[in-house]
Structure 1
């Protein structure tokens, strides 16, 4: 059942990874603006704290806990802190990701492949398993995996990144099926081309940008804030009967 105010997250505890900038920071701000206590997480504590300070200045509730999701011991430490301080988790936004290589797939170095897999697949998996277990102890919760349109249509010269984002889509469906009985919903958000530091090589290279926008019916790059509303929906009671869904926020790119 949805509440009278289905987007109200008051009393909810949320983790947002990769939340020190870009899409993650905007999601953290919106969740906090709708009442959640948000754990802002990324690799650097100072960067996380800057987002927390902004949330608090706007009247929201948040704290910073640094975590590199490519390191399993850091994931464990994050959840130990959440368990100790709050005893529960209601929302997990898996947003942290890496894309260290832009080039022909045949030239992918083993170290690059390993780093990308460790963060984008293994990191999401263990963040989700820890999160789902903690959610299940208190009646359930919502996991939102930030994948990418590249998980459906591989990005040119972004081979290993695209492969890992396709895995995130499959992972989302697997968790949705197997965790539904525990009250844990799992959905995926697929951003299109978005103006972030992460995508700067695409957005700031005129030839690449022109080519990319030719395949986007809305003919523009998204702003990070335009991804946050979709994450709020999937995390909230408004999506109480939604699990295993793949939500494209891409200006129509995947519709062409």
Structure 2
């Protein structure tokens, strides 16, 4: 897909951040189980990775449903025999506009999906990783965790909560020989963000905040996840790495 912004044509990658993470992990030797609410997304991702001779499987999973999360874990164990790495890449945002205009229903949906679900997946998977001798859990937060957006305030707050969750999990997960970290992507050119990046005025306003003066790509996020999951990061836990082209990231 292409969009025209200020007479410049930008390519919006069909690859999502999640698909890029799955691809890069598999290319680095991981056996990957992917999931999505949409069967078509699962099938397209499996087809893409399988065409590269990568070890991948997948299943439909509506992460807000306990039975779907349980099935995802069971299918992973059945296919691969264990779990060493968990990447919590979930997020949704049904509310746009001033934060005080967020309805209670939208607020609940955002926090259930973006905060509660990653916690519950971590709670269920951590003992399985411990059984394997340890591993790594990685959350996908966002640059808006540090710099809340005026138009996606509730989403921003939910991503800030993940920064605290990573820190809070460190003591218990360390005792289980599990490292826990996060990435905070900046403005990444994906279909999810096109409402912002494809808008002429908002796009320029965002670029003005990015010292590198460009939007990121899903692959640039995925490389950081692979690093955090690898032994090269064996002395890193409780941290959030921003992948945001130099944007400010402090609370």
Q: Partner of 2:209: helix, strand, or coil? A: coil
Given the alignment of the two structures, is residue 252 of structure 1 paired with residue 246 of structure 2, yes or no?
yes
Given the alignment of the two structures, is residue 46 of structure 1 paired with residue 51 of structure 2, yes or no?
no
Summarize deviations over 1:130-152 as a string: whole Å, max 9, x none: 12111011111101100001111
Cα shift at 1:68: 1.6
Given the alignment of the two structures, is residue 128 of structure 1 paired with residue 134 of structure 2, yes or no?
no
Structure 1 stretch 245-254 or stretch 79-88: which is displaced more?
A: 79-88
| Whole-angstrom CA distance in 2 between matches of 1:162 and 1:64 | 29
Q: Any gaps of 5 or more consecutive residues in structure 2?
A: 1-13
Q: Report matched runs for 1:1-256 at 5 Å.
A: 21-254=15-248
Q: Partner of 2:184: helix, strand, or coil? A: strand
Q: 1:49 touches 1:63 (CA, 8 Å); kept in 2?
A: no
Summarize deviations over 1:57-115 as a string: whole Å, max 9, x none: 11111001111212222112211222333331011111121011111111101111111
Summarize deviations over 1:172-212 as a string: whole Å, max 9, x none: 11112221011111001000000111111110111111111
The aligned residue for residue 8 of structure 2 is: none
| Whole-angstrom CA distance in 2 between matches of 1:46 and 1:245 | 34
| Whole-angstrom CA distance in 1 between matches of 2:16 and 2:191 | 7
The change in CA–CA distance for 1:59 and 1:93 in structure 2 (over 3 A counts) is: same
The change in CA–CA distance for 1:255 and 1:86 in structure 2 (over 3 A counts) is: closer
| Whole-angstrom CA distance in 2 between matches of 1:157 and 1:110 | 16
Aligned Cα root-mean-square deviation (Å)? 1.4
Q: Partner of 2:248: helix, strand, or coil? A: helix
Q: 1:177 touches 1:244 (CA, 8 Å); kept in 2?
A: no
Q: 1:176 touches 1:185 (CA, 8 Å); kept in 2?
A: yes
TM score, norm. by length of structure 2: 0.91
TM score, norm. by length of structure 1: 0.89
